[in-house]
Amino acid sequence: MKLGVIGCGKMGTALVEGAIRSGGVDSANVIGVDPYLGARENFARTTGAAVSESLSAVAGCEVVLLCTKPLDVRAALQALAADGSPRLVISIAAGITLAALEEAASPATRVIRAMPNTPALVGKGAAAFCLGTRATPEDAASAKMLLGSVGLAVEVPERLMDAVTGLSGSGPAYVYLVIEALADGGVRNGLARADAIRLAAQTVFGSAAMVLETGEHPAVLKDMVTSPGGTTIAGLAELEKLGLRSSLIEAVTAATRRAGELGK
């Protein structure tokens, strides 16, 4: 696969670095394009791939990863359309629909819309993607390889992409708030700040790994920690009383709603 990357910022760099590390692509077959010298230099240093400031550099690429800001998507797709070559474009621009992508692209272009999240920067991302009308099963496999090289990647219908944005796209911020609050609780009860943050973060990390690696429902794992009349049930009772569960549900719903508004 010859891969072009338009937008060599943190996310584009992380996705390509992961794909190279996993063996999905070879750095010799990757070209990154960005107008900013600093972004190009970091991309080249991190991935070992070639870089350019000209969009024409990706003309021969079979797959193009579009990592620009949403306002720059249309111009990039129109520039790609100039040569009329068939290719797959995977866009990670928030809020840009498949219909908008296909309208701006050439008829020979197949498009996929994706939503990764920032933990992809450390190889622990969660991403979802949906296929355009011309995309093939082989294209879906390419998207899953690229996105999955830095974490989890799932295919969903486009109507659910706003929910993905509200959950996994915005979700890291909710989890950081939970980690901060857990650490504050530890500090309130005598722990040093640095120790409290490390313990809180590792607790969240380990708990998430338990869900993913065991396949058990979170409620089952929660009950494994909760002994009758013990410390955990006392803490859980407080969380239920103060509305942690409903607060998180409403946070995802509000972010989902806002994602829909931004996409219009």
Which among 258, 40, 18, 7 is positioned nearest to 119, based on CA atoms?
A: 18
Task: Say whether pLDDT at 253 is over 90.
Answer: yes
The whole-chain average pLDDT of the chain stands at 94
Confidence of residue 102 (pLDDT cuts 50, 70, 90): very high
Q: For 30-49, what is the mean pLDDT?
A: 96
Domain parsing of the chain, residue ranges: 3-161, 169-262
pLDDT of residue 60: 87
Condensed to tens digits (0 to 9), the pLDDT of residues 53-74 reads: 999 899 889 999 999 988 899 8
CA 96 to chain centre: 15
pLDDT greater than 90 at residue 126: yes
Instruction: Give residue 144's pLDDT.
Output: 95
Cα atoms in the Cβ-side hemisphere of radius 13 Å centred on 50: 13
With beta carbons less than 8 A apart as the criterion, state whether 67 and 40 touch.
Answer: no
Number of H helices, E strands in the chain: 11, 8
Give the mean model confidence (pLDDT) for residues 241-263.
93
| CB-based contact 103:74 (threshold 8 Å) | no
What local confidence, expressed as pLDDT, does residue 82 receive?
83
User: What was the pLDDT predicted at 180?
Assistant: 98
pLDDT band at 32 (very low <50, low <70, confident <90, very high): very high
Answer yes or no: CATH 3.40.640.10 is held by domain 3-161: no
CATH topology of domain 169-262: ProC C-terminal domain-like fold (1.10.3730)
CA distances from 125 to 92, 121, 162, 262 (A): 13, 7, 17, 23
pLDDT given at position 81: 86
> Which pLDDT band, with edges at 50, 70 and 90, does 172 fall under?
very high
CA gap 31, 28 in Å, rounded: 8
- The band of 248, judged by pLDDT with boundaries at 50, 70 and 90, is very high
